[in-house]
A and B are shown apart, each in its own frame.
Chain A
Amino acid sequence: MSHEAEAVSSRGGGISAGIKTPRPKSNWLKHEMAVPKPWAVNVGRFALFIIMLLLWEIGARSGLINSFFWSQPVEIARTWWIGVQTGAVWQDTLYTFRSTVIGFVLGTLGGTLLGLSFWWSKYYARISEPFIIMFEAMPKLALAPIIVLVFGIGIGSKIAMGFAITVVITTLTTYNGVRSVDKDLVRMVYSLGASRMQVFRKVIVPTAIPAMISALRINIGLALTGAIVGEYIGSERGLGRMIFYAGQTYEISLIWANIFNLSILSMLLYVLIGKLESLLLKGFMHQK
């Protein structure tokens, strides 16, 4: 230690000597700021998954778990592999994927347009309001039998389910976004001589975009649920149809194999939506 530094530190000591002794440094900062390493997290997650499967397998073999109802991982894996080999896995997943995405796109677009359209006329918005709310309050899954009757057991009824289940919530979300517009912004744009169409395009639509984007994530889950329930009621293909069919014939490992496929599909859809979301946010809201 240099002479100077010594002088400073001793002076510092002199000052603090009269004051309370400082508490020992805790490492709270380390706890708060620490970010676990991504690879370590992934390893941990995978390990947990394997442990759960192991416990399940052991439980089933030792009779602790009733394998008639719960099946067991090895059995499920075997069933799943057969599906892969026959191509049924791909066919059913693709079928459900397609109906979900089409229902989602139609419902989201339709709801967005409907929600935006309410800005144009308060009269029309007021008249529609109770009907929208009534339809929103109704459990749309209960409509499934009628929808399948009307649209048949083909993909049309699955798309219709996805549409029915997403369109109203999107309408409401978008309309709430539209209504949250800053009235003064609207006045300002009118003061620049804007037409209603210009106000709509330059203020109303951009204001509603965050609400519309937030609806995407909810809608994809809803559309998937709609498609699956549609398949339960009546379908020739799809993951929901497989699960329902396997349940009827007590093929528990087939149920699980398809639930596994469904989880993969669902994750895939969420990843896609996440990508779409960040694209839209970057494009419209200039956020990362």
Chain B
Amino acid sequence: MMNAYKMELENVSKTYLGTDGNPVNALGPIHMQIPNHRFISIVGPSGCGKSTLFNIISGLVETSDGAIYVGGNRVDGLTGITGYMLQKDLLLPWRTILDNVILGLEIEGIPKKEAKAKALPLLYKYGLKGFEHHYPAQLSGGMRQRAALLRTIMYDREIILLDEPFGALDAQTRAMMQEWLLDLWDDFQKTILFVTHDMEEAIYLSDEVYIMTSRPGTIKRHLMIDLPRPRKPQIITSPQFIELKEEALRTLSEETMRAYQQESAG
């Protein structure tokens, strides 16, 4: 393996044992080559295997086939390689926001005091000032999502997987969080893989967008988003953006239709 890419997925696929005892192909085969420091979105019909893909990359679920390389080393089946934010915020309800954010560092064995000293400036800078000692239940959805994202960032991995992080937020909060995420990405120079069902969000945020087929999900299109950065929210009304979006949506709707027909056929 060459080190030209930050991460490579080769032939990654997943088969689950169905309820009838027969294997069900849930994902793949997937090929991806992820360059360093990129913001990459993955969009696909629901149930096509996006979360499964992230579970595999993060080492929580075993691949049925294929391999994953990070920096030339085979990493499939290993946890702790990537920072992963699952679909829910998953803050520990009995811990304060500060204690939640340092969880990753704590697990690595860094003394709590040191971890807190590291986390506090980030909480201040990224809009959680005054909430450090609050409990998750006392925060709004947007704030909790911020905390979960900061926890992922604090767990200092070069590759970050974000599974529909803003899926449950209202439009205004979501727009705010997008800007916030772009700031974070800028500041920390991470490679981000981002799952969303919102095509506009995908294009606005990303350098590359992967569109997946319906189940079993494979890569249907790989779009390069050559919009200049930094991007302003108004960019979504530019002709170039609209063209990209229409193209992407057309591709996706074919797959959504197919997924729908698959389902109604049984």
A contact residues vs B (CB 8 Å cutoff) = 182, 184-185, 187-194, 198, 202-203, 206, 209, 284-286
Contact = CB atoms under 8 A, between A and B. Distances in A.
Contacts of B59: 191
B243 interface: no
Contacts of A192: 79-80, 103-104, 107, 155
30 contacts: A184-B86, A185-B90, A185-B92, A187-B60, A187-B86, A188-B86, A188-B90, A189-B107, A190-B60, A191-B60, A191-B80, A191-B84, A191-B86, A192-B80, A192-B103, A192-B104, A192-B107, A192-B155, A193-B80, A194-B107, A198-B107, A202-B92, A202-B103, A202-B106, A203-B92, A206-B92, A206-B94, A209-B94, A285-B94, A286-B135
Nearest to A198: B107
A206 B94 CA distance: 8
B92 A190 contact: no
Nearest to B135: A286
7 closest pairs, A vs B, by CB?
A193-B80, A191-B84, A192-B104, A188-B90, A194-B107, A206-B94, A191-B58
A286 B134 CA distance: 10
Which of A184, A193, A203: most chain B Cβ within 10 A? A193
B103 A191 contact: no
B108 interface: yes
B92 to A, nearest CB: 7
Contact of B79 (A185, A193, A203, A285): A193
Contacts of A182: 90
Chain A interface helix/strand/loop/mixed: helix
Interface string B63-102: 0000000000000000110001010101010100000000
A284 B92 CA distance: 12
Contacts of A191: 58-60, 79-80, 84, 86
A111 B80 CA distance: 34
A201 to B, nearest CB: 10
B56 to A, nearest CB: 12
B91 to A, nearest CB: 9
Contacts of A194: 107
Interface string B194-231: 00000000000000000000000000000000000000
A193 B80 CA distance: 4
Nearest to A190: B79
Interface string B103-127: 1101110000000000000000000
B100 to A, nearest CB: 10
Interface string B30-67: 00000000000000000000000001001110000000
Given A189-B103, A191-B84, A194-B107, 9 more contacts: A184-B86, A190-B79, A191-B79, A193-B104, A202-B92, A202-B103, A285-B94, A286-B94, A286-B135
A209 B55 CA distance: 29
Contacts of B155: 192
B59, B92, B135, most chain A CB atoms within 10 A: B92
B213 to A, nearest CB: 26
B163 to A, nearest CB: 11
A198 B79 CA distance: 14
Contacts of B80: 191-193
Nearest to A195: B107
Contacts of B135: 286
Contacts of B103: 189, 192, 202
A282 to B, nearest CB: 12
Contacts of A187: 55, 60, 86
Nearest to A284: B94
Contacts of A198: 107
B108 A193 contact: yes
Given A187-B60, A203-B92, A286-B135, A193 B86 contact: no
Contacts of B90: 182, 184-185, 188
Nearest to A188: B90
Contacts of A190: 60, 79
A192 B55 CA distance: 12
A259 B155 CA distance: 61
Q: Which of A182, A192, A206, A286 counts the most chain B CB atoms within 10 A? A: A192
A286 B92 CA distance: 13
Nearest to B109: A198
Nearest to B88: A184
Nearest to A191: B84
